[in-house]
């Protein structure tokens, strides 16, 4: 009897089944989350190599390590890999998959088979995208602007088809999450008791379902125009190139919120847990996610102030974009207010959360510059824009991703991440990030256009600082990798609730059992009841 | 804004490009204001964060924390104040933007042609400015010369590298989007194939300023530069009349095309309707067509030449005009447009 009980306690989702095949055919949301973990970090490594190649080439004027044609491909693959294969699936499909069902007290997502299929969609899409490298590659930038992308290059077609297929991973995951949140909450887990990470994923899912199909259609039109010469976008065939931009940004602007909303969710969890304090303005944070999701569909034209769209459209899109700033500011102030009269533990996940607040504030206020028509005319397509969106995507989303990884790692693998390694990685990523991207604001304000293989001599110093910073970020992520490997092999054993947090995932064992809870939890209070 | 350089200057500062137009000065004023507001907000947020982190750092595992769920007055404040600030900045931006996009009537018009990866400038007297190659086979960007203190309007088009080759024979030679960007003037406008786009500026500071292509257009996107040289009006007039000035003004070339391409058979220049509507007084007029009312601008005239059946003028619905796609060059269309502009 005693032996049987011990055996039962030692069983978790990791050793419930064994062998590679059991992983490739798993329907367990936690294992699928781990598959995404490996996939996303693998592609982050690839995209990161491309990033370092870009920065190395820009270290000095003229040819440093490659020619302009190679450079154009390198920044295209950096953008496409990071956007479609890292940042979009990063938090929702990895951390979301693992923790969404557990945080609402469910055994799994609503459609486990669809969940596995989503992962295969991402892999298949990635295979297509990467295979384009072997047929001459693509050099369109991740935005695929027409008519340049109607170049009859097979690499472009493969890349577009890859992004199309990967899009279905996003759509199906969103569908799954919405169904799960609505139908599988544990008894007592009302909508105003779900953690803010769930609210963020829920808002993200709405955007994924509504916006991604538009991208899919647009990418199909490009593929059709390339293969069959049907004139949708190229005026030489009777099409309209600006129409493409409308279609593309109708998806890709909401997609920016697909990338950042889940990060907001992670930050809410981290700040509450490491402050041991109920979150300030739960309702405001939850509804501001929905508000951002809603407004995000009406702002796409702010990417097109100088595209030839009408001035009236420019002004309307400018004022609508300003509206996004309000719910975003609300979140920021709520997080700061949560720190008031708290009990703050500066463990490495919290350092990443505080680093997020610092960097995201810069990313946010520079967004106001770009939303202002007269300023954007000058700043559009310069390094100012590059700096702005890296502050949001990297300073925001990636900081939250690493913070979330360190926070939930003990739950996922039953072992703690070494605190020293965690802090060292934070130092290099945070400092390196500012050294890399802050000078780019100045470069952009001075007029250096983006996607430039070479630049005026007067821009060289700032580019050199930026390149040195990028190597610091590189070192930081190597340390993250070492920290993860070290934790897996030699990490200190974690208890069920090492941080003393209140959400449901910390009530089950670390790592969780096959169906998350031995007994379905009954929920009687909100997610952050620290009294 | 004394603390921020909004006065004219032909030289870049540490943080900003030269200020060579009035618009650039106004840009700097707004940019400086927003930078200051952003800096104050950023410092406020980060200072509060650091203060709380230091003051409320965990002393023991048994720390008690306050249970504060919300505060309506505070939440209203920090929603409303940013909102007002954003609307203020939006309105200020709108004012400058509308100045950027309101074209002065008396502007000097220059045609700009973008292709992979070069700019070409065509003045109305037929003078053209193109890039050249130096002794080391390095590209020397074209230098466009403009008069000081006079508004200049650029009418821009994107074309193929070798427009005379049919697309079926050179499928990768396509006209793509470029963007005409002058940091010192704070202006930028995409140059879109299949239509004309325009921008204007009035340089108040003599000097030479860079033009960049800001929309990614392929291999030599980074090298698709030009220069704008701002000189006094006298110097400009001298330059325009000398240094291999064009043999034929654009409008004159347009008059020749009018005769040679048989436009003359159906369109009069004296106001009488013929097989087709007259060209006299056509420019800038509102034209009633079967697809609605349109202003006769560059795009309308170009479309009417290339695809006459796209919009048919009221009263001429039954007239038949052959499409000129493939039988007229973009340079000839530009000349016809300039010719029609002279037929007041």
| Domain residue ranges of chain B, discontinuous segments joined by + | 1-56+69-102, 108-241, 250-342
Do B279 and B344 contact (CB within 8 A), yes or no? no
CB contact under 8 A, B87 and A319: yes
Q: Where do runs of H (alpha helix) occur along A58-148? A: 68-80, 88-89, 97-103, 112-131
Contacts of B94 (CB under 8 A, 6+ apart): A315, A318, A373, A374
DSSP character at residue B21:
B
Q: What is the pLDDT of residues A19-69, one digit of tens each?
A: 999 999 999 999 999 999 999 999 999 999 999 999 999 999 999 999 999
What residues of B are in contact with residue A434 (Cβ under 8 Å)? none
Tell me yes or no: is domain B250-342 CATH 3.90.1150.10: no
Residue B250 CA: distances (Å) to CA of A19, A504, B157, B298: 77, 76, 16, 14
Instruction: Kindly tell me if the per-residue pLDDT of B271 is higher than 50.
Output: yes
**Paired tokens of B283:** 């420019």
pLDDT at A10: 73
CB contact under 8 A, B219 and A345: no
Q: What is the pLDDT of residues A110-125, one digit of tens each?
A: 999 999 999 999 999 9
Q: What is the mean pLDDT of residues A492-498?
A: 95
pLDDT at A94: 97
Q: What is the pLDDT of residues B1-54, one digit of tens each?
A: 444 556 678 888 889 999 999 999 999 999 999 999 999 999 999 999 999 999
CB contact under 8 A, A147 and B175: yes
Q: What is the mean pLDDT of residues A468-488?
A: 97
Q: What is the pLDDT of residues A136-145, one digit of tens each?
A: 899 999 999 9
Predicted complex ipTM: 0.94
Q: Which residue of A has its CA nearest to B190?
A: A307
Per-residue DSSP letters for A385-398?
HHHHHHHHIIIIII
Instruction: Kindly tell me if the per-residue pLDDT of B110 is higher than 50.
Output: yes
Residue A323 to chain B, least CA–CA distance (Å): 7
What residues of B are in contact with residue A326 (Cβ under 8 Å)? 79, 82-83, 86
Q: Where do runs of H (alpha helix) occur along A229-347? A: 241-275, 282-295, 311-338
Do B29 and B37 contact (CB within 8 A), yes or no? no
Q: What is the mean pLDDT of residues B203-229?
A: 96
CB contact under 8 A, B31 and A530: no
Distance CA A478, CA A328 (A): 32
Do A302 and A370 contact (CB within 8 A), yes or no? yes
**Paired tokens of B269:** 């220049």
Residue pairs between chains A and B whose CB atoms are closer than 8 Å: 262
CB contact under 8 A, B58 and A276: yes
What residues of B are in contact with residue A374 (Cβ under 8 Å)? 26-27, 30, 92-97, 100, 186
Distance CA A343, CA B52 (A): 10
CB contact under 8 A, B216 and A145: yes
Contacts of A32 (CB under 8 A, 6+ apart): A26, A97, A115, A116, A118, A119
Chain B interface, best mutation among A341, A374, A495, A498, by max B CB count within 10 A: A374
Instruction: Kindly tell me if the per-residue pLDDT of A363 is higher than 80.
Output: yes
Distance CA A393, CA A79 (A): 12
Q: What is the mean pLDDT of residues A395-411?
A: 97
Please tell me whether residue A464 adopts helix, strand or coil conformation.
helix
Distance CA B249, CA B122 (A): 10
pLDDT at B3: 46
pLDDT at B5: 56
Q: Which residue of A has its CA nearest to B28?
A: A375
Distance CA A491, CA A216 (A): 43
Contacts of A137 (CB under 8 A, 6+ apart): A73, A76, A77, A155
Q: What is the pLDDT of residues A55-77, one digit of tens each?
A: 999 999 999 999 999 999 999 99
**Paired tokens of A239:** 């099409």
- Superfamily (CATH) of domain B108-241: Cupredoxins -  blue copper proteins (2.60.40.420)
What residues of B are in contact with residue A280 (Cβ under 8 Å)? 68-71
CB contact under 8 A, B179 and A333: no
Q: Residues 130-169, chain B: which have Cβ within 8 Å of A?
A: 167
Any idea of the CA torsion for A250, A255, A258, A259, to the nearest 10 degrees?
A: -160
Computed on alpha carbons and rounded to an integer, the radius of gyration of chain A in Å comes to: 23
CB contact under 8 A, B69 and A278: yes
With pLDDT > 70 as the criterion, what percentage of chain B qualifies?
97
B129 - beta bridge partners?
Answer: B121
Distance CA A392, CA A366 (A): 10
Can you say whether the dihedral through the CA atoms of B163, B166, B171, B176 is positive or negative? positive
Q: What does pTM read for this prediction?
A: 0.95
Number of neighbouring beta carbons within 10 Å of residue A7: 9
* Reduced DSSP (H G I as helix, E B as strand, rest coil) percent helix, strand, coil of chain A, to 5: 70, 0, 25
CB contact under 8 A, A234 and B174: yes
Chain A interface, best mutation among B39, B56, B186, by max A CB count within 10 A: B56
DSSP character at residue A10:
H
pLDDT at B6: 61
Number of neighbouring beta carbons within 10 Å of residue A498: 17
B121 - beta bridge partners?
Answer: B112, B129
B143 - beta bridge partners?
Answer: B227
The secondary structure of B96-133, three-state, reads HHHHHCCCCCCCEEEEEEEECCEEEEEECCCCEECCEE
Q: B315: alpha, beta or left, given left = phi > 0 and alpha = psi -120 to 50? A: left
Partner residue opposite B93 with nearest CB, options A354, A375, A452: A375
DSSP character at residue A415:
B
Helices A419-445 and A399-413, axial angle in degrees (round to 10): 160
B170 touching A (Cβ < 8 Å): no
Instruction: Kindly tell me if the per-residue pLDDT of B184 is higher than 70.
Output: yes
Please tell me whether residue B155 adopts helix, strand or coil conformation.
strand
Partner residue opposite A68 with nearest CB, options B82, B177, B219: B219
Cis, bond preceding A151 (omega within 30 deg of 0): no
Partner residue opposite A333 with nearest CB, options B78, B183, B223: B78
How far from each other are the two terminal CA atoms of chain B, in whole angstroms? 45
Assign A1 a pLDDT band (cuts: 50, 70, 90): very low
Q: What is the pLDDT of residues A249-308, one digit of tens each?
A: 999 999 999 999 999 999 999 999 999 999 999 999 999 999 999 999 999 999 999 998
pLDDT at B78: 93
pLDDT at B244: 67
- Superfamily (CATH) of domain A2-507: Cytochrome c oxidase-like, subunit I domain (1.20.210.10)
Q: What is the largest CA-CA distance in chain B?
A: 97
Residue B53 to chain A, least CA–CA distance (Å): 6
Burial class from Cβ neighbours inside 10 Å (0-12, 13-18, 19+) for residue B46 reads middle
Assign B163 a pLDDT band (cuts: 50, 70, 90): confident
CB contact under 8 A, A319 and B38: no
Residue A294 to chain B, least CA–CA distance (Å): 17
Q: What is the mean pLDDT of residues A121-140?
A: 94
Q: Which residue of B has its CA nearest to A61?
A: B222
**Paired tokens of A132:** 């384009």
Burial readout A227-250 (b: 16 or more C-beta within 10 A, e: otherwise): eeeeebbbbbeebbbbebbbbbbb
CB contact under 8 A, B56 and A147: no
Q: What is the mean pLDDT of residues A374-390?
A: 97
Instruction: Kindly tell me if the per-residue pLDDT of A6 is higher than 50.
Output: no
**Paired tokens of B260:** 């040679």
Distance CA A163, CA A353 (A): 31
Contacts of B5 (CB under 8 A, 6+ apart): B13, B16, B19, B28
Assign A4 a pLDDT band (cuts: 50, 70, 90): very low
Residue of B10, B5, B12, B11 whose CA lies nearest to B26: B5
pLDDT at A154: 87
CB contact under 8 A, B68 and A341: yes
CA atoms within 13 A of residue B144's CA, in its CB half-sphere: 28
Q: What is the mean pLDDT of residues A357-379?
A: 97
pLDDT at B12: 87
């Amino acid at each position: 009897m005693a032996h049987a009980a011990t055996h039962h306690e030692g069983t978790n989702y990791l050793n419930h089944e064994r062998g590679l095949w059991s992983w490739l055919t798993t329907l367990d949301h936690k294992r699928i989350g781990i598959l995404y973990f490996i996939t996303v970090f693998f592609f982050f490594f690839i995209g990161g190599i491309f990033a370092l190649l870009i920065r190395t080439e820009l270290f000095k004027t003229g040819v440093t390590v490659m020619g302009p044609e190679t450079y154009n491909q390198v920044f295209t693959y950096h953008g496409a890999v990071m956007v479609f294969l890292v940042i979009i699936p990063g938090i929702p499909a990895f951390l979301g998959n693992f923790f969404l069902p557990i945080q609402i007290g469910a055994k799994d997502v609503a459609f486990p088979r669809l969940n596995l299929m989503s992962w295969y969609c991402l892999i298949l899409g990635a295979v297509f995208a990467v295979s384009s490298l072997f047929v001459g590659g693509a050099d369109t930038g991740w935005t695929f602007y027409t008519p340049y992308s109607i170049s009859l290059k097979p690499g472009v077609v493969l890349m577009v088809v890859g992004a199309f297929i990967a899009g279905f991973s996003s759509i199906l995951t969103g569908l799954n999450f919405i169904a799960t949140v609505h139908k599988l909450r544990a008894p007592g887990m009302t909508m105003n008791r779900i953690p803010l990470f769930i609210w963020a994923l829920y808002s993200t899912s709405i955007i994924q379902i509504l916006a991604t199909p538009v991208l899919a259609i647009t990418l199909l039109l490009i593929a059709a125009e390339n293969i069959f010469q049907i004139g949708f976008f190229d005026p030489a065939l009777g099409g309209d190139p600006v129409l493409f931009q409308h279609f593309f940004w109708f998806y890709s602007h909401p997609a920016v919120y697909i990338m950042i909303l889940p990060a907001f969710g992670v930050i809410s969890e981290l700040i509450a847990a490491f402050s041991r304090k109920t979150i300030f303005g739960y309702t405001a944070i939850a509804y501001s996610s929905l508000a951002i999701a809603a407004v995000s569909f009406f702002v796409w034209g702010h990417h097109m102030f100088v595209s030839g769209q009408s001035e009236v459209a420019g002004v309307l899109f400018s004022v609508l974009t300003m509206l996004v700033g309000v719910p975003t500011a609300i979140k920021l102030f709520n997080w700061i207010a949560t720190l008031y009269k708290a009990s703050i533990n500066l463990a490495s996940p919290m350092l990443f959360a505080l680093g997020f607040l610092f960097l995201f504030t810069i990313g946010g206020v520079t967004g106001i510059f770009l939303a202002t028509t007269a300023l954007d005319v000058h700043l559009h397509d310069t390094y100012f824009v590059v700096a702005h969106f890296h502050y949001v995507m990297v300073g925001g989303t990636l900081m939250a991703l690493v913070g979330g990884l360190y926070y939930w790692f003990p739950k996922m693998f039953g072992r703690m991440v070494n605190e020293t390694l965690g802090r060292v990685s934070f130092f290099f990523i945070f400092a390196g990030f500012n050294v890399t991207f802050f000078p780019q604001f100045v470069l952009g304000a001075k007029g250096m256009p983006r996607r430039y293989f070479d630049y005026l001599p007067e821009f060289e110093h700032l580019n050199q600082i930026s390149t040195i910073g990028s190597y610091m970020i590189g070192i930081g992520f190597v340390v993250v990798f070492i920290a993860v490997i070290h934790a897996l092999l030699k990490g200190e054993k974690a208890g069920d609730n090492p941080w003393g947090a209140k959400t449901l995932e910390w009530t089950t064992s670390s790592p969780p059992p096959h169906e998350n809870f031995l007994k379905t939890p009954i929920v009687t209070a909100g997610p952050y009841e620290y009294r | 804004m004394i603390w921020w350089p909004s006065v004219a200057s032909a030289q870049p500062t540490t943080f900003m490009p030269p200020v060579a137009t009035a618009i650039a000065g106004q840009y700097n004023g707004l940019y400086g204001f927003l930078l200051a507001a952003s800096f104050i907000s950023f410092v406020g947020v980060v200072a509060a964060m650091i203060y709380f982190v230091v003051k409320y750092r965990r002393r023991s595992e048994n720390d008690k924390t306050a249970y504060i769920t919300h505060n309506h007055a505070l939440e209203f404040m920090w929603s409303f104040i940013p909102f007002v600030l954003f609307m203020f900045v939006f309105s200020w931006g709108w004012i400058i933007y509308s100045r950027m996009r309101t074209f002065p009537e008396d502007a000097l018009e220059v045609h700009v042609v973008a292709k992979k990866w070069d700019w070409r400038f065509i003045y109305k007297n037929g003078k053209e400015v193109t890039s050249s190659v130096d002794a080391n086979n390095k590209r020397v960007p074209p230098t466009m010369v403009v008069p000081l203190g006079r508004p200049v309007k650029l009418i821009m088009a994107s074309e193929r590298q070798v427009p005379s080759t049919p697309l079926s024979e050179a499928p990768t030679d396509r006209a793509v989007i470029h963007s005409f960007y002058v940091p010192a003037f704070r202006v930028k406008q995409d140059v879109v194939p299949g239509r004309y786009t325009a921008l204007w500026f009035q340089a108040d500071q003599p000097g030479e300023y860079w033009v960049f292509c800001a929309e990614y257009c392929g291999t030599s996107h980074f090298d698709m530069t030009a220069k704008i040289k701002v000189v006094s009006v006298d110097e400009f007039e001298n330059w325009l009349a000398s240094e291999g000035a064009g043999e034929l003004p654009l409008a004159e070339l347009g008059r020749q095309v009018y005769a040679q391409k048989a436009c003359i058979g159906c369109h009069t220049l004296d106001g009488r309707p013929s097989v087709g509507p007259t060209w006299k007084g056509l420019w800038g007029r509102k034209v009633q067509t079967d697809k609605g009312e349109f202003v006769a601008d560059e795009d309308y005239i170009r479309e009417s030449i290339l695809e006459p059946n796209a919009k048919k003028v009221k009263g001429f619905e039954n007239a038949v005009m052959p499409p000129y796609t493939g039988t007229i060059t973009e340079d000839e269309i530009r000349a016809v447009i300039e010719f029609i502009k002279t037929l007041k």
